[in-house]
Amino acid sequence: MMSGHVNKPRVAFYDFASCEGCQIELTNYGDDVFLNLLQHIDLVECRETMSEKTTMAVDIACIEGSFTREKDRQRLLDIREKSAIVIAYGQCAVSGGINSLKNHIPDYAQCVYAEHSRDKQLQSQSALPISDVIKVDYAVYGCPINRNEFLQILFHLLHLKQPVIPDYPVCVECKRHETPCRIEFQADAYCLGMVARAGCDAPCPAAGIPCDACRGLVSDANLRAAMQLLKKKTGGQSERALNIFRLFNAQIIDKPLM
C-alpha cells in the first residue's frame, strides 16, 4: 500500500496490445465524475485524454492490454520499477483476454492481415497477461472494465484501504436479483455464470444474454464439470463448447478440458 501523501498521488495509465476500450470507458464517466477524480489525483499520463508523458516515479500505474511483443518487456520492467502500485485493468491485461485467441490459431496473421501478414510492424507473439512479465498488485476484471468498480478500487487505494475484489460466481448475483437461470429453465441455452467471476452485477443474464465470463474465472472453478455441461447445452458440439469457453479465457482454457 502507499504511504501517506502531502501532495496528490501521481497516477499514470499505460497501454499495450488492446483496443484501449477500458481507458475510454473511464472517460465515459462524464465531466462531473472525471473532474472530481482529478481533484484527488495528479494524472501524469493517459493517452486517451492527454498528450503529456512522464518518466518520473508514479504512485499508481494502471496498465491496459496484453503482452504480445518481446520488445515491450523492458518498457513493462521500467513501469514496474518506477511504480509503487501496479494495477492490471481490463481482461487483456489480466489474463490475455480476447487477444489470446490467436494463441490457438497458427495462421491468425494470414486470416487477419492477408497479404500484409508478414509486414514487420504486424509481427507479434502469443498474447500473455501482464503478470507473466512483472508483478501486478491488483486486477480490475472485465471486457471492458466496470468503471464504477475501477473507481472504487482506486479510491480504496487513495484512502490506504485494501480493495475488496469479488471471487465468487456470477450465479450469486443472478440469485440476488432473482434473475431466472438460463441453464435451469432453457433447454438449449448456455451460460458460464457458474464459473465466471462476479462483480459486474450480472447484467447480461438479466437481459437474456448468456454470461461469457468476460471477467475471467473464479479461482476455484470446476472447469471440467462446466465444460461437460456446456457440451450438453451445445448439443454435444465439443469444438463449439471449447470456443465459447475460450472467448475471454483462451490463455486459461485448452484441450485437456475436453
Second CATH level (architecture) for the domain 10-158: 3-Layer(aba) Sandwich (3.40)
> How far is Cα 105 from Cα 129, in angstroms, rounded to an integer?
18
Domain extent listing, the chain: 10-158, 170-257
Cis omega (within 30 of 0) for bond into 163: no
Closest CA to 200 of 145, 137, 138, 129: 145
pLDDT at residue number 6: 56
Chain length of the chain: 258
- pLDDT tens string, the chain, 258 residues long: the values are 454 445 899 999 999 999 999 988 888 766 677 778 888 899 999 998 889 999 999 999 999 999 999 999 999 999 999 999 999 999 999 999 999 999 988 888 888 888 888 888 888 889 999 999 999 999 999 999 988 899 899 999 999 999 989 999 999 999 999 999 988 888 778 999 999 999 999 999 999 999 999 999 999 899 989 999 998 888 888 888 888 989 999 987 765 555
Amino acid at 143: C
Cα 71 from chain centroid?
Answer: 22
> How far is Cα 202 from Cα 212, in angstroms, rounded to an integer?
11
CB 223 within 8 A of CB 257: yes
Residue with cell 497477461: 129
Give the chain's radius of gyration (CA, Å): 19
Contacts of 238 (CB under 8 A, 6+ apart): 231, 258
Closest CA to 93 of 59, 26, 154, 143: 143
Angle at 144 between CA 140 and CA 150, to 5 degrees: 35
pLDDT at residue number 30: 65
Give this prediction's pTM. 0.89
Kindly report the number of other CB atoms within 10 A of residue 57's CB atom.
13
pLDDT at residue number 167: 95
CB 10 within 8 A of CB 42: yes
The distance between the two most distant Cα atoms of the chain, rounded to a whole number of Å, is 61
Residue with cell 488492446: 18
CB 40 within 8 A of CB 32: no
Contacts of 32 (CB under 8 A, 6+ apart): none
